[in-house]
Structure 1
Amino acid sequence: PFRLRGDPQPLLSPPIVDESGRDRRLEDFGSRVILLNIWATWCPPCREEMPMLDRLQARIGGADFMVLPLCIDDAGIDRGRRFYNEIGIANLPLFWAESLRVQLALAFVGLPTTLLIDRESREIGRLQGPFDWDSDDTATQIRGLL
């Protein structure tokens, strides 16, 4: 699914907030490979992918890998939590950041955008648009990076 970069790029982390209100940065998760999914509740393809990302986290998430969903709703993290509760998301953490700061830091256009980040907080792959996260190819590719 990801065309891996031959030249991993360092990332400038936008300010990220977790559900407890604590400020986080991508470097905080640096011991893992991260699938950073930038999404919003008003984005239909984002909403459709979220259950698949939840299943991916349940299948292969752990000490070496995590799905990091980054909600950029202007209304804040509470709207993301309501959406999680509505559709029964059980395995994913929830993080929030200001849309403009994420766009400036990560230079993405359109939602959903998903970045594959290595253990040194470098971008090694990027997907624009929705994807079938339930595919065996996805899990195989990610496991190959662990």
Structure 2
Amino acid sequence: MRRRDFLVATAAAALATPVAAGPVMPLRDSPREMPSPPFVNGAGRDLMLDDFHGKVVLLNIWATWCAPCREEMPTLDALQARLGGEDFHVLPLSIDRAGMPVVRKFYEEIGIRHLGMYLADQTRVMMAFAAYGLPTTILIDRQGRELGRLVGPSEWDSPENIALFETIIAKGKDTP
């Protein structure tokens, strides 16, 4: 086989192979109580996780200077567009020390349209949520308890993750 033919065949095989969707959110054996450090939304309103009580929340701790965070943000936006509403909310919690202006600029640059903007103190959040790397994503049930956690990026709008979140959302509807 000539080199050119080999390269064409290799490229064709690579294109035919599905790209891995990234890890699916691993779940805990039992829910764990969570702290709720304060944060602000894009309008400057003070919030806590308790403000989302009754919803399943996918909390994503990120920063604009974190390359994997930047890469996964469109998948979080797509997830919020698909599942966000009365029962589910993606909460992208930025820990950028430069504040909300850099978050706003980043959202505009990459076309984030469905996610809210949230900002918190880096040290307080990293300690409260025991987040030792970015991005850290935590799945929270309707009662504010941690169901699962993933450190590192994922394709949050993958069919596998969507199926998991839909199952968690449906299960929680039976609970007051």
TM range, smaller chain = over 0.9
Counterpart Cα distance in 2 of 1:93 and 1:7: 29
- Who is 1:70 aligned against? 93
- Who is 1:28 aligned against? 51
Q: 2:110 aligns with which of 41, 62, 87?
A: 87
Unaligned runs of 5+ in 1: none
Counterpart Cα distance in 2 of 1:76 and 1:12: 22
Identity of aligned residues (%): 55
Q: Is 1:110 equivalent to 2:133 in the alignment?
A: yes
- Who is 2:28 aligned against? 5
Counterpart Cα distance in 2 of 1:121 and 1:77: 25
Unaligned runs of 5+ in 2: 1-23, 170-176
SS of equivalent residue, structure 1 residue 140: helix
Number of residue-to-residue matches in the alignment: 146
- Tell me: higher relative CO, structure 1 or 2? Use CA pairs within 8 A at least 6 residues apart: 1
Counterpart Cα distance in 1 of 2:100 and 2:139: 22
CA RMSD of aligned residues (A): 0.8
SS of equivalent residue, structure 1 residue 101: helix
Q: Give the CA deviation at 1:2.
A: 2.0
Segments ≥4 residues shifted beyond 3 Å: none
Return the TM-score normalized by structure 2. 0.81
Q: Give the CA deviation at 1:3.
A: 2.2
- Who is 1:101 aligned against? 124
Return the TM-score normalized by structure 1. 0.97
Larger Rg belongs to: 2
Q: Give the CA deviation at 1:6.
A: 2.0
Q: Give the CA deviation at 1:5.
A: 1.3
- Who is 2:18 aligned against? none
Q: Deviations over 1:56-110 (max 9, x none)?
A: 1001111000100000001111211110011110000010000000011101111
- Who is 1:53 aligned against? 76
Counterpart Cα distance in 2 of 1:48 and 1:124: 24
